[in-house]
A = this chain, B = another copy of it.
Amino acid sequence: MKILIWNENEHEMSNALVRRLYPDGIHGALAAAFKDDGSASVSTATLAEPEHGLTEEKLRNTDVLIWWGHKAHGKVSDEIVARVQQRVWEGMGLIVLHSGHFSKIFRVLMGTPCSLSWREAGEVERLWVINRNHPIAAGLPPFIEIQHEEMYGEPFTIPEPMETVFVSWFEGGEVFRSGVTFQRGAGRIFYFRPGHEAYPTYHNLQILQIIRNAAHWAHNPLPAWRTVNDAPNVPHGQAPVPLQVKGPRLHEDGEAGYR
């Protein structure tokens, strides 16, 4: 399983606190989740690299992409977002973390605003496991407690999830669907809430375990669905039950449809 961890990597450059928490970048901390996972090979990419480190070739060789972004969502090129979306449709898994709820890639895959309410007060977050034996929750206790986290509150404007795996309780009184799954084309998507850059959340072993579990869950070993965008014409003579044409036609056999 080839994992690519993408990180915007801007806070780490500009903010001493974040740099101290994540001296190897958030992507570096996330990579540690897989260091004892013999079945995973991990690489990283950041916004500042050419093509944001997300070249056609790199994406073609990625089974699961993990995404962390926040202040620079707008700097991500639309062309590269379309490229990532295409790979998700073909079957690449995608794990979107925390402030990535407002990333272009998550928004175009959901088709919704992906908005929420928020507060940065270092409060307690407790993630409850809702779907106890889901592969993403493997090895977890009934809940995980994080002593200091940013609050995200409902309504979280996403489509109704395929599965709700975690729901969070916040000290200040809000709740949030913190772990939710979706499928788009052949690609499985997991959104996972925790991970504010001002706190050491990605050094929490339980959080890393969830991310590792999610990568395995999102991995689709089947061959990429390269033709997922195609709209093939099936000529009447090649129908499963061959037909004679009846009535008028606007199109010729085998022609490309309109888009």
Q: Which residues of B contact A151 (CB under 8 A)?
A: 234, 239
Q: Cβ of A50: which chain B residues have Cβ within 8 Å of it?
A: none
Contact surface of A with B, Cβ cutoff 8 Å: 11, 15, 17-18, 70-74, 85, 89, 91, 99, 102, 108-113, 115-123, 126, 128-133, 135, 138, 142-143, 145, 148, 151, 153-157, 159-160, 162-164, 167-175, 177, 182-186, 197-199, 220, 222, 225, 228-236, 239-251, 257-259
Q: Is the CB of B131 within 8 A of A197?
A: no
B111-A174 in contact (CB<8A): no
How many angstroms between the C-alpha atoms of A115 and B118 in the bound complex?
32
**B89 contacts A248, C-beta separation under 8 Å:** no
B18, B128, B199, B225: the one contacting A174 at CB < 8 Å is B128
> Considering the chains assembled together, what is the distance between the CA atoms of A171 and B243 in angstroms?
8
User: How far does the alpha carbon of A222 sit from the alpha carbon of B113 in the complex, in Å?
Assistant: 19
CB neighbours (8 Å) of A117 from chain B are 231-234
Whether the Cβ atoms of B118 and A257 lie closer than 8 Å is yes
- A111 near B113 with CB under 8 A, answer no
